[in-house]
Amino acid sequence: MRGSGPIYLVLYIFVQVKQYRLKPSNLSTFPLSRDQLGILAMTRLVLLIALLCMLSVFSASKAESQEQAKLQTYIVHVKKPDGIASLQSEELHNWYRSFLQATAQTSFKDRMVFSYQNVASGFAVRLTEEEAKALQEKDEIVSARPERTLSLHTTHTPSFLGLSKGSGLWKDSNFGEGVIIGVIDTGIFPFHPSFSDEGMPAPPSKWKGYCEFNGQRTCNNKLIGARNLVKTANQEPPFEEFLHGTHTSSEATGNFVENASVFGNAQGIAAGMAPKAHVAMYKVCGIVLCTESAILAAMDIAIEDGVDVLSLSLGLGSLPFYNDPIALGAFTAVQKGIFVSCSAGNSGPDYATLSNEAPWILTVGASTIDRTIKATARLGNGAEYDGQTLFQPKSFLSNLLPLVYAGSNGSQSSALCAPGSLNNVDVKGKVVLCDFGGNISRIVKGQTVKDAGGAAMILVNQQPIGFTTFSEAHVLPAVHLSYVAGSAIKQYINSTYTPTATILFKGTVIGDSQTPAVASFSSRGPSQESVGILKPDIIGPGVNILAAWGVSVDDKLPAYNVVSGTSMSCPHLSGIAALLKSTHPEWSPAAIKSAIMTTANTLNLAGEPILDERLLPADIFATGAAHVNPNKASDPGLVYDIHPDDYIPYLCGLGYTDRQITMIVDNNVRCSEIKSIPEAQLNYPSFSIIMGSTSQYYTRTVTNVGPANSTYSLELEVPMALGMSVNPSKISFSEVYQKATFSVEFIPQMKENSGNHSFAQGSLSWVSEQHCVRIPISVIFK
């Protein structure tokens, strides 16, 4: 080891000297004089003392290393005293440090990781468990808990969403000009042409951020800031290792790049949702892990820097809001007028699997787009099954080859084509059928087949994944098929003596009328932390999305890749929010969210209800309000606005303690002095009702952002086994920004009507000559 090298050097010299141990009988034969022998003896003594000293230092160093191993990062929340807002950052940092002086056993090294100025009254610090317990006993400390790690939720979409250069929201917002999007992610590859500043204005004068690329001329008028919040021994610039952040940043705000493609597929002009918006990257993740102390620090800095939109494609699952770092940071951001968009998570299709559930966050699920990169599996019996793949080699002949199911030996590992599982399976020169899943990358499955000598791979879904398929850069000829297709092919293999198959590659196909559909992986509601708030809020493009990539997958530059996840749908909505912010700078974050939700599309391109991964109508816990429609969102007619202070009665109604709410809002709160409200009373652009045997009564307030003189009439889609009464049934306005309040009563009908159902859904719409302002209704029966 490097630290032990000097000790071994001293030992080596000591041994060499020791070899010359003297005896009276052989003095005459020793080649040194008596003076030299005296010097040699003294040298021995000095080296012995040096060795003992170094061993002592080594022991101390070892003890220190053992002590360091006991340390972990804690997030500490501190009561906010009067006058704290006037403290400068250095004074604030020193005040935080004052809590540690009597706590840390080894105060000779600064254990402070981050001190927070905006998102929380508190800091992140490395402590032992004993030190943390001692710290938490102080009256000023609200909480001290170990930090956790968060996971990532990992061209054609502008036109799919109706965005065009000559009209609509792109034209009205000038492509998002003047808006700053802060992306909190894995870092960025700044040299990609998606981050070129051609045609970009200088950043707004309010911008206070900076670039950490070691003085290189990598930041510009497009990429205006880049920070690395990942704490390492050698602090590096915010380049990324995982490539996730480059993709998400370019989806939100990538500049126009012509002739973008991968393997010649999905070719066209690549552009983010807000091509003229500025982007700032805040790196909080290493290879895959993202620490919450870094996320809080990134949000803290981004708020101070002056961003307008925050985009976070990561999450922790369902958490109490006072324990959720993103919810904490987002609340402060919303207080400052910053819009926050987050991914819903990739844990679908099961219910109650959401991340980022706070009502002040836009929670985004994932949907498909109408572009497929098509391939077809043709069987020896003539049957054909369409699927997708990005890698479509022209050299692959369409001749029928022997077909084998990798799991025919009864091994689950082989069926999943896990690494090394096919070594004893005869797949050489054959088309190999592999099952989806097992927490094994789909690319790795193909590599397993290739390593075992397979000629091609047919990847088939397991039942929960249904019809959701992915276009990916496989390492061999391959096609990804649905569960239904996979079942049919397995039946063919089992019923045929010599089954055969091949793959036909058909390139890019646009116009799938069953899109958008909800992706199988997109996390579903209802919210676990606040069931009275309908989540997700919205769905947007998140399947097979082409965007910038840090390394080439097809040996061509600039590099692009096709990736899927709610990580992709989130930046789409972040970019759309930037367009709306540019068009309507006076709108609050809640007003922007309302505009997005109340104008969403409930139908697919065929004019039918949006489907899920089973090709059945998707329910409200999959779609939220429905699928984003950017152009309509720019002119919603009415909005359901929420002031940040309105969330406090809601939080009291959740049953949180004063201390817990103080952690969220970063101000002292006493619920005893506040009239709390039930969750469904928050002025949210949806209803989520837990229905028992008694009626429930709520109000909503809408703000006119359409024509000054306008009248809206009520339209209801009443949920099953429920009655509804809305008063008034017509609302009129004579001014812009005029408000109107209406009441809604939910009345349970006969119990037997709902006995066989766990939930129902409907909608409430205000309709004028120009607008339809729709909010969804979910009802969960007790």
Residues acting as catalytic residues: 185, 244, 567
Picking from 500, 483, 515, 700, the residue whose alpha carbon sits closest to that of residue 607 is 515
Query: How does DSSP assign 422-438, residue by residue?
Result: TTTS--TTSEEEEES-T
Picking from 469, 508, 579, the residue whose alpha carbon sits closest to that of residue 173 is 579
The amino acid at residue 374 is: K
Pairing of strands 456-460, 371-379: unpaired
Q: Where is 339: in which H helix or E strand?
A: strand 339-343
Q: How many C-alpha atoms does 579 have within 13 Å on its Cβ side?
A: 32
In this structure, what DSSP letter does residue 556 have? -
d(CA 272, CA 257): 10
In the three-class reduction of DSSP (H, G, I as helix; E, B as strand; rest coil), residue 43 is classed as: helix
d(CA 209, CA 225): 6
Q: Where is 683: in which H helix or E strand?
A: none
The amino acid at residue 122 is: G
Q: How many C-alpha atoms does 310 have within 13 Å on its Cβ side?
A: 34
Picking from 115, 301, 88, the residue whose alpha carbon sits closest to that of residue 209 is 301
Picking from 497, 465, 517, 498, the residue whose alpha carbon sits closest to that of residue 626 is 517
In this structure, what DSSP letter does residue 735 have? S
The amino acid at residue 191 is: F
d(CA 480, CA 466): 12
d(CA 308, CA 226): 16
- Burial class (CB within 10 angstroms; exposed 0-12, middle 13-18, buried 19+) of 23: exposed
> 143 near 136, Cβ under 8 Å?
yes
Picking from 627, 554, 538, the residue whose alpha carbon sits closest to that of residue 160 is 627
Give 197's contacts (C-beta < 8 A, 6+ positions apart): 220, 221, 222, 223, 255
Picking from 468, 485, 462, 505, the residue whose alpha carbon sits closest to that of residue 383 is 485
Token pair recorded at residue 58: 């080594």
Token pair recorded at residue 624: 């939220």
